[in-house]
Amino acid sequence: MKSKTFLRSIIVLMILLYSNIAYNQHLTSDSTWKNSYKNIVRYNLSGGLLFGFSKYVIFGYERVVNPHQSFSVNFGTVALPKLVSINTDSFSLKKDLKNNGFNVSADYRFYLAKENKYFAPHGIYIGPYISYNHFDRNNDWEFQQSGSAQKLISTETQFNIFTAGAELGYQFVFWKRITLDMVLIGPGVSGYNLKTKIEGDLTDEERQNLQDAVKQLLSQKFPGMNYVFADKEFNAHGVLNTTSVGFRYLVHIGFAF
């Protein structure tokens, strides 16, 4: 089902791109700065396609400050993807008790005057960005070893990601009003903070096994988390802090005014 949705999205994008090329043939390169639209409100399409539209709802605003520069801010609600399976002999996931979070990000864009035919916000751009994601997730687990009775264990997990980096992207403007913004490359450096509180009677080894299961949950649909968490362990307080590479890839659809 997801592959069909993604394919339909690609087809729509191709139709829009073709329409934009045909429309821009009637425009001249001397479009005036004074009469251009300098505000854009937009919606994050890529997050919904990857993680689900009901849980990932991010809106943004871009303001053009001169013919070749702008800034943008984005915010909204996020949640971790639906769980699939956990590779552990002792713990099995029972249900989600809580699953929510939020995202805040901002960037400053330099639209390349020598490469672009039109004023900002139409064309190729580069610039710095910052992004912060916070996730809360509470789960019930069933714990059982051979010869022992089942026990119900609860976890409360907080996961924070702060990323700073640089991006390269392109923004199309269709029919003067509709925008399609694509951040194509966004390498950065990320700080990861994972905290898990475990409620239940477990030995130190069993707690470590459950903490590893929590890391598996985050790695299921978070690209690169296997690399980030490789050889990383929780401390005695159930906290894991690490710094690693980060990235940004986004597709927005918006309206200029």
pLDDT tens track for 210-224: 888 788 777 776 767
Quick: pLDDT tens for 142-167.
877 666 667 788 889 899 999 999 99
Question: Would you place residue 236 in the very low, low, confident or very high pLDDT band (cuts 50, 70, 90)?
Answer: confident
Name the 3-class secondary structure at 187: coil
Other Cβ atoms within 10 Å of 87 Cβ, number: 8
Give the pLDDT confidence score for residue 24 in this predicted structure: 45
Averaged pLDDT for residues 9-32: 49
Q: Is the pLDDT of residue 56 over 80?
A: yes
* Range with the poorest average pLDDT among 80-94, 117-131, 179-193: 80-94
Question: Would you place residue 139 in the very low, low, confident or very high pLDDT band (cuts 50, 70, 90)?
Answer: confident
Give the pLDDT confidence score for residue 88 in this predicted structure: 66
Q: Is the pLDDT of residue 8 over 80?
A: no
Question: Would you place residue 108 in the very low, low, confident or very high pLDDT band (cuts 50, 70, 90)?
Answer: very high
**CATH number of the domain enclosing 221:** 2.40.160
* Range with the poorest average pLDDT among 6-10, 129-133, 205-209, 235-239: 6-10
Taking the CA atoms of 23, 125, 166 and 58 in sequence, report the sign of the dihedral they define.
negative
Give the pLDDT confidence score for residue 168 in this predicted structure: 97
Question: Would you place residue 13 in the very low, low, confident or very high pLDDT band (cuts 50, 70, 90)?
Answer: low
Overall domain count for the chain:
1
CA distance 225 to 234: 15
Q: Which long-range contacts (CB under 8 A, 24 or more apart) does 199-204 make?
A: 199/153, 199/154, 199/155, 199/156, 200/143, 200/151, 200/152, 200/153, 200/154, 201/151, 202/143, 202/153
Residues forming beta bridges with residue 92, ordered by sequence position: 142
Residue identified by tokens 């003067």 is: 176
Q: What is the DSSP pairing of strand 250-256 with strand 39-44?
A: antiparallel
Structural domain range at position 237: 2-28+36-256
Question: Would you place residue 22 in the very low, low, confident or very high pLDDT band (cuts 50, 70, 90)?
Answer: very low
- Find, among 124, 129, 125, 151, the residue nearest to 140 by Cα: 151
